[in-house]
Every structure is written in structure tokens, then in C-alpha cells.
Amino acid sequence: MVTGSARRIGGRGGLLLVLCGVLLQAGCAPRPAATAHDTPNPRLRLALTTTPDKPTSLDPTRFTMHVTGAAGGPVKGATVKVGLTMPAMPMGDNDIALHETQPGVYTGSGRFTMAGAWRITATAASGQERTTKSFSTDVR
């Protein structure tokens, strides 16, 4: 008989798996940070993530923008870019065009040129629709 040895595998291991899942979700994607330049458009919604979540100055950062319409579906064929500025000082133009890599998903890479608080100003255009949305991120 071997049934006895199989008891109670799992209890504690299952709890550890749950804790790890919670920690993995606690990343720090760029936070929406509305400015006077923002022009919210319910027919052109923008959601941004960066890779890595917390960018490092001078290393490449990948920008991934999900563009969705009023019904939540992907918006294909849009023109999407992000501009990187620092609220605290002039840093010149740092515009990055994003290219559609999956339906409604636009990606591109660029560099933050110093550590500190940066603003990411995203603009998208599709047909007659336009939108501008600002995000903030802390670069180390």
C-alpha cells in the first residue's frame, strides 16, 4: 500500500504560488498623468507599458501602446508616437514613432537620457480621431 505517502502535498506550496503571483503583478508601469495638453477621446483609448517597467537612463526602453476604440476592439492602422520630456528642465525633442506589430498594438524603442522624473506624451491619430495622453515614469 502506498496511499499514505501521498497525503498533504500542496497546502503550503499552493500558498507560496499565490504570493509570488501577487508580487509579480506589483510592477510599475507608466502612470497616467493628465496635463493641460491631454485631449481624451473615448473613441481612441491609449494604454502604455514600458519594458522594463522601470526604465534605466541611457539603456533602450521599449514602448508598447494598446490602442482601442469605443467598443474595446483594437484600432488598426493608426499613427502613434510618444514624446519624452522632463517636467523639470528642457531636454530637447525625443519623439519616437511606434509601429503596429499586432492589430492595435504599436511598439518602438528609445532612450531616456538621464535619471529622474519623465513625462511620456503619447499621441494617436486614426481617420478623423485624435488623442493626446500623458504618462509619468521615474527613470533610474
Give dist(CA 69, CA 19) in Å, integer. Answer: 35
34 binds Cu ion (CB under 5 A): no
The burial of 71, by beta-carbon neighbours within 10 Å (0-12 exposed, 13-18 middle, 19 or more buried), is given as exposed
27-35, 36-44, 81-89, 124-132 -> range binding Cu ion (CB under 5 A): 81-89
The burial of 83, by beta-carbon neighbours within 10 Å (0-12 exposed, 13-18 middle, 19 or more buried), is given as middle
114 binds Cu ion (CB under 5 A): yes
**Of residues 47 and 91, the one with the C-beta less far from Cu ion:** 91
64-72, 83-91, 98-106, 127-135 -> range binding Cu ion (CB under 5 A): 83-91
89 binds Cu ion (CB under 5 A): yes
**Of residues 106 and 119, the one with the C-beta less far from Cu ion:** 119
Please identify which residue in 29, 33, 47, 86 interacts with Cu ion, judged by CB under 5 A: 86
Give dist(CA 34, CA 117) in Å, integer. Answer: 15
Nearest approach, Cβ of residue 114 and Cu ion (Å): 4
Give the list of residues 6+ apart from residue 55 with CB closer than 8 angstroms, or none.
61, 112, 137, 139, 140
Nearest approach, Cβ of residue 116 and Cu ion (Å): 6
Total residues found in the chain within this entry: 140
Q: How many residues bind Cu ion (CB under 5 A)?
A: 4
Cβ-closest position to Cu ion: 86
Residues that bind Cu ion (CB under 5 A): 86, 89, 91, 114
